[in-house]
Amino acid sequence: MKVADAIAKVLHEEGIDTVFSLLGEATMHVVSALDGLGVKVVDCRHEGAAMAMADGYSRATGKPVLCAVTTGPALAHTLVPLTSAGRTRSQVVVLTGLRNPDNLGDRQRMDHQAIARLAGVGYRPLFDPDNVVERVREVVDQTRYTGKPVILDVTEQVQIQEYAWEIMPRGDAAWKQRQRIHPDPTIVEAAAKLIGQAERPVVIAGVGAEYSDAREEIRAFADRIGALVASTLESKNLFGGDPYNAGIAGLYSSDPVMELFATADCVISFGASLNPYTLAKGYLFPVADFVQVDVLSPRPMGDGQDATHYIQADALAAATTLSAELARQGVPEKTGFRTAEVADRLASVEVDPKEIEIGPDELDPRRVCAEIDALLPDECGFATGLSGHFWSFTALHMTRRRTPLLASTFVGAIGYGVPVGVGAAIGCPDQPMVVFEGDGSMMQNVHALETAARQGIRALIVIMNNESLGAELYKMGFNDLNAELSNAEGLDIEGVARALGCTATTARSMDDVRSFVDAFLAGTGPYVLDARISRNVMSRTFRRANLGEQ
């Protein structure tokens, strides 16, 4: 067999069942071999989209996946989504290869290792064909245990050489078995003493708590100590249905919740980095002590401040152990925030009650998000772009729990909501997916709609279309600049989406929105909703941050 066949065989044996690909000399041999082994090949129209789809697939499924892009410029096209994937938990093997390492004048030559370094991801080249099995296994292992992408760099000259050895299977390694890190009893004892003295505690859960399946244990712990429960943006609505659920902790907290948080005397976090967004740059919990629980090695909180106690442990193990330690210390169950008055206050929260004039044939984006959230079934995934302005409406006005729940990028870049959502939908074919994106952002990867149509994914793709770059529209106004420069009017998104193979419509009324969502739920394939939202509606978060609105 050829080295390319050996690479494909090992990748397949290591659990790679899908490859997102844009073919080239450095990938065609391996991708062809993978196709022969029955691996699903998703042909993409741009290397950046291929990487974003692979990222969405891996985060939605928890499985390793392959992104295959060819040499130099092709790999460079992946830099933004590759960097983003390196900042979250994404198991992507990126296959590429220089055309000819000895040709220093090759016009496609780029430093692949430098690209990996810029992106903050792993890099492993293969020079010796005899090492192919060990190297490929090493790469898959590395992306599994680090949760970061790894670039596998193999030239075509190496791929087409003969591999004369038999590939022996290997058993499951012990380190692949899921384990729970249990906390140090001494630190738990000290933390429990602090928690036992608290009268107004708040519990915050992040993605680590979700990964640990610790929701119910954390709820029981919070109930015992009389705490409000809240979550990070990435774990939005984890505690949906709990009468003491305060929603998102951070810049997306409602005003009444912020008032409650301001009086908290202790915050206990499970699986959250407590970054500046979650802590509103230190202003959200001004008088609270912090107990931080995370599996990562001890470190300052995400805003650079120090927690009073840092417990290195799995979220479920820590919640169970802390509850037991409180009982051992004789700490009685407390009411804390858990009063009828607080429950009524939380139940009556209006995220954004401000009346805003909506023009004719325009939609209020707040209503669009809330209505779609109500119409979709519980079993429905969610993905969104994560930069600009439009996604603030999804964060504030969509309150039901969604799994998987994916933000597109962690580098503040627009343009990746649709491809990340497409990848997630391919990974979760047994349930629908809703994807939110802005109109300007969508146009950066509009070709992803064609991939979605060709793959027949079951996704409702909602384009929040105010014919403008929304964040820039408002920011230019704040700075007395010509805001018209941010506008891009006249694009027929419905027509573009239909031409690319999607079912599509333009919505100018809430009846249009409701009927199209109903059609999506009854239909198949991707549906694109061009929701014509009003520029008059600035999100509550944007008004608070930029206008000082209280």
527, 502 contact by CB (below 8 A):
yes
185-198 per-position pLDDT tens digit: 999 999 999 999 99
Q: Which residue has the tokens 């608070």?
A: 544
Selection from 247, 204, 210 nearest residue 227 by Cα: 204
Distance CA 391, CA 387 (A): 7
What is the DSSP code (8-state) at residue 404?
S
Helix (H) or strand (E) holding 434: strand 433-438
Q: Which residue has the tokens 């999100």?
A: 539
333, 358 contact by CB (below 8 A):
no
* Local confidence pLDDT in tens for the 550 residues of the chain: 999 999 999 999 999 999 999 999 999 999 999 999 999 999 999 999 999 999 999 999 999 999 999 999 999 999 999 999 999 999 999 999 987 777 777 778 899 999 999 999 999 999 999 999 999 999 999 999 999 999 999 999 999 999 988 898 888 888 888 889 999 999 999 999 999 999 999 999 999 999 999 999 999 999 999 999 999 999 999 999 999 999 999 988 988 999 999 999 999 999 999 998 899 887 899 999 999 999 999 999 888 889 999 999 999 999 999 999 999 999 999 999 999 999 999 999 888 989 999 999 999 999 999 999 999 999 999 999 987 899 999 999 999 999 999 998 899 899 999 999 999 999 999 999 999 999 999 999 999 999 999 999 999 999 999 999 999 999 999 999 999 999 999 899 999 999 999 999 999 999 999 999 999 999 999 999 999 999 999 999 889 888 877 6
Q: What is the DSSP string of 136-180?
A: HHHHHHHHHHH-S-EEEE--HHHHTSB--S--------GGGS---
Domains delineated in the chain:
3-171 (3.40.50.970), 185-347 (3.40.50.1220), 365-547 (3.40.50.970)
pLDDT in the model for residue 332: 97
532-546 per-position pLDDT tens digit: 999 999 999 889 888
Q: Which residue has the tokens 């300007």?
A: 440
Q: Which tokens sit at 239? A: 């505690």
Q: Which tokens sit at 14? A: 């290591």
Distance CA 307, CA 136 (A): 40
Nearest-5° Cα angle at 186, 185 to 192:
85
Count H helices and E strands in the chain, helices first.
23, 18
373 to 418, 457, 513: CA distances (angstroms):
18, 20, 12
Torsion, Cα 433 439 444 445, to 10 degrees, reads 20
